[in-house]
Amino acid sequence: MIERSHWHPVALAQDVAALPVSATLLDEALVLWRDAAGQVQAWADRCPHRGARLSMGRVVTGRLECPYHGWQFAPDGACVHVPAAPAFTPPSTHVAQTHAVCEAHGLVWVCLQPGDPPSEPPWFAAEAEPGLRKLNCGPYDVATSAPRIVENFLDMAHFGFVHTGYLGSREHTALADYQVHDTPAGPVATGCRVLQPRSNLHSERASEVAYRYAVLGPYTAALIKVPEPGSLAGHLASTGYQESIGLFICPTAPEHSRIWFRLAVADFEASAESLRGFQDTIFRQDQPVLESQRPRRLPLDVRAERHSPADKMSSAYRRHLVRLGITFGVLP
């Protein structure tokens, strides 16, 4: 399964602290924990002794301790202590299954495939901009496949219906033509323009908003706001900053996903709660429609669903998944 060779986000980095945390990725149960050096670890959530869930255990002196018989495991996965047989030196077979893990964009990322993982998680350009405030929203647990969620994120034709009064209105549902280009990371849509009654927390009047969308990985995408001249964002743009929203999805099961949004905004005044609140409002509008879609898995056969010219970014994303050989969360 090619998805196993990609990095996927599994938890907020700040949530992996003193206690072990459970997570699910591609139908596999994981335990995440932090060793004495502060390095995050991601293992199969299964003790090699009798299969108990390690995430129900605890971290003791930099080791993960199983909740059942108290076996202790060092950060490399090796069992180093068996309380019922303290003189026993566990052989190298007594080892928890470890996975490649790293931190990026405020999230913990895991690659399940043994061997060398890809060099790094998807590149989110706004991350490198010191003039932007970064803030994660979520998680949101959604009963649908990750590709359905990416497609919804890339879709402007639903704004006037699902987000009426916010990102669109029923009076302006026709979309201006936009351009789609393929890049090695995925398709990019440029020249996207929408009239938005309330495009962000502070909007007091409708404005035409220009976007760029970029697919960054099979289940990762970004929206980049092309600033209006004269606005604060426009001022920032002259210094090279562009506000952006990243969509990061953990494909927990073929028809279940966990989502985080990463806001990279020029707004340093609003509270984190109010910025998150706005994102919650928008996403709660998307969620019922997303969960109503059938099939939940994204059909990659072009004949399975009907298309309009407004859907060319969605079609480019589907072709990209075909090129990558993605099978999780899609129908062939």
**Residue number, 70 or 299, with CB nearest to ligand FES:** 70
Interface with ligand FES includes 71 (CB under 6 A)? yes
Q: Shortest approach of Co ion to residue 167 CB, angstroms?
A: 7
CB-nearer residue toward ligand FES: 54 or 112: 54
Choose among ligand FES, Co ion, none what residue 123 binds, the Cβ cut-off being 5 to 8 Å by kind. none
Residues 6 or more apart whose Cβ sits within 8 Å of residue 59: 18, 19, 20, 33, 34, 35, 65
Residues from 5 through 64 that contact ligand FES (CB under 6 A)? 47, 49-50, 52
CB nearer to ligand FES: pick between 71 and 241: 71
CB of 94 to ligand FES, least distance (A): 10
And the tokens for 149?
């969620």
Q: How far is the CB of 33 from ligand FES (least distance, A)?
A: 15
Minimum distance between the CB of residue 168 and Co ion, rounded to whole angstroms?
Answer: 9
Query: Which of the ranges 13-21, 68-76, 97-105, 171-179 carries the binding residues for ligand FES, by CB under 6 A?
Result: 68-76
Give me the 259-298 binding string for Co ion, x by CB under 5 A, dash otherwise. Answer: ---------------------------x------------
- Site residues for ligand FES, 186-245, by CB under 6 A, read none
Backbone angles phi, psi at 128, to 5 degrees: -85, 0
User: Closest Cα to residue 248, out of 109, 125, 87?
Assistant: 109
**Smallest separation (angstroms) from Co ion to the CB of 65:** 44
Of the pair 34, 148, the CB lying nearest Co ion is at: 148
**Residue 50 interaction partner, one of ligand FES, Co ion, none, beta carbon < 5-8 Å per kind:** ligand FES
Report the nearest approach of ligand FES to the CB of residue 154 (Å). Answer: 44
Q: How many degrees, rounded to 5, is the angle at CA 75 between CA 46 and CA 20?
A: 55
Q: Which does 47 bind (CB under 5 to 8 A by kind): ligand FES, Co ion, none?
A: ligand FES
When binding is defined by CB under 6 A, the residue of 68, 74, 106, 185 that contacts ligand FES is 68
Centroid of chain to Cα 195: 27
Rounded to an integer, what distance in angstroms lies between the CA atom of residue 195 and that of residue 167? 8
User: Which residues from 300-319 bind ligand FES, rule CB under 6 A?
Assistant: none
Give the nearest distance from C-beta 153 to Co ion in angstroms: 7
Q: Residue 286's binding partner, choosing from ligand FES, Co ion, none, with beta-carbon cut-off 5 to 8 A by kind?
A: Co ion
Binding site for ligand FES (CB under 6 A): 47, 49-50, 52, 66, 68-69, 71
